[in-house]
Amino acid sequence: MSDPAPSAGRPAEFRVSYHAALVEESVLLAERRLSPADAAAFRGERNRIYAGDDPDEKDARFEELHGRFFLRLGLDRPLHEALAERPELLARARGCRVLPAVSRRQEMADVRKEVGAGAQAAPTIVVTLRPQSLVDPDALLTLLRRELLHVADMLDPAFGYVRELPGLEEDPALVNLLRERYRVVWDAVVDGRLCRTGLLGARARAARRAEFARAFPMLAERADAAFASWFEEPRPAHAAIVAFIQEPLGPGTADERRCPLCRLPTRSLEGGRCPRCAEVYAALVPTPG
């Protein structure tokens, strides 16, 4: 399903489309919100379509019916609102496609080049959502604000986003460790900006602070100051985040030691490994007996 017309403030060439199955499932979940008359009309029209004989015609009619009620139920509004808050995306992307997600962990936004598009062609924003999320507008708006600010960073030349972190070809455990640290720092930077602009509640800071402390236990008493510097960062850069996650204690720190496995700074070694590597490798190696 595609938008019949661009929203106010959205250029005509920027189109939003939703996967037909996602539209259908979300409408069926939200059907109880319809007035009795609208619900009766919806069910009556669905039953008439089911009674048809031509499979291709039935698919097209179902898609039109579900798309019409998707708009009537306002299930498109959270994405329109989140996009309107990010005019830079409207200038740097050609459109937005919304696809189904199977699990909550799969719900995210990313950017992709269309097949056959030239090197200079604008990418498309791809958002993956569950039907359940589309019928919870408040939670969905929060999710979309976070995800679209990540996308805005990815498309901002000043941020300098590179999808692959450097020097991670040797150790899968190190790859996962650094990717998780990168996510934690980037999420803190995103939530900080959203909080300062009033688009996210103040409780987000405490949640991100706790997550940061778990990801960087080696910082100990320095964790509060380090977290605050990222949460309050107005102009983040990919390279700065990468440098931090590789050396959280800072290059050349006097009390710095390095884990012989991940080569990252640590304040303590457990059996010759940093606490994080000890945890990772304990999970990978089964206990004898």
Query: In Å, how far are 46, 187, 237, 253, 266 from 248, measured between CA atoms?
Result: 58, 16, 16, 10, 9
Q: How far is CA 115 from CA 42, 92, 124, 226, 257, in A?
A: 37, 18, 11, 41, 47
The pLDDT of residue 255 is 43
pLDDT score recorded for residue 82: 97
CA–CA distance, 40 with 113 (Å, rounded to integer): 42
| Half-sphere exposure in the Cβ direction for 147 (13 Å, CA) | 24
Q: Give the residue carrying structure tokens 């509060």.
A: 224
**What are the backbone dihedrals phi and psi of residue 98, each rounded to the nearest 5 degrees, phi first?**
-110, 120
Q: Tokens at residue 12, please?
A: 């005509």
Distance of alpha carbon 178 from alpha carbon 174, whole angstroms: 6
Q: Are the C-beta atoms of 106 and 135 separated by less than 8 Å? A: no
pLDDT at 191: 98
* The residue to which tokens 């009766």 are assigned: 40
User: What per-residue confidence (pLDDT) applies to 52?
Assistant: 83
* Residue-level pLDDT at 254: 35
Query: Under a CB-based contact definition with an 8 Å cutoff, are residues 151 and 110 in contact?
Result: yes
How many CB atoms are closer than 10 A to CB 18?
26
Q: What is the distance between the alpha carbons of residues 68 and 64, in angstroms, rounded to a whole number?
A: 6
Q: What is the 3 state secondary structure string of 15-77? A: EEEECHHHHHHHHHHHHHHCCHHHHHHHHHHHHHHHCCCCHHHHHHHHHHHHHHHHHHCCCCH
Mean pLDDT (10-residue bins), the chain, 289 residues: 60 86 98 95 94 86 96 97 95 96 96 73 94 97 98 96 75 81 97 97 95 94 96 95 90 56 63 70 60
**Strand ranges inside the chain, DSSP E:** 15-18, 95-100, 108-112, 124-129, 257-258, 265-266
The token pair at 167 is: 């020097």
8 Å CB contact between 241 and 181 = no
Q: Which residue has the tokens 């983040």?
A: 236
Tell me the one-letter amino acid at 243.
A
Beta bridge partners of 98: 18, 127
Residues in the chain: 289
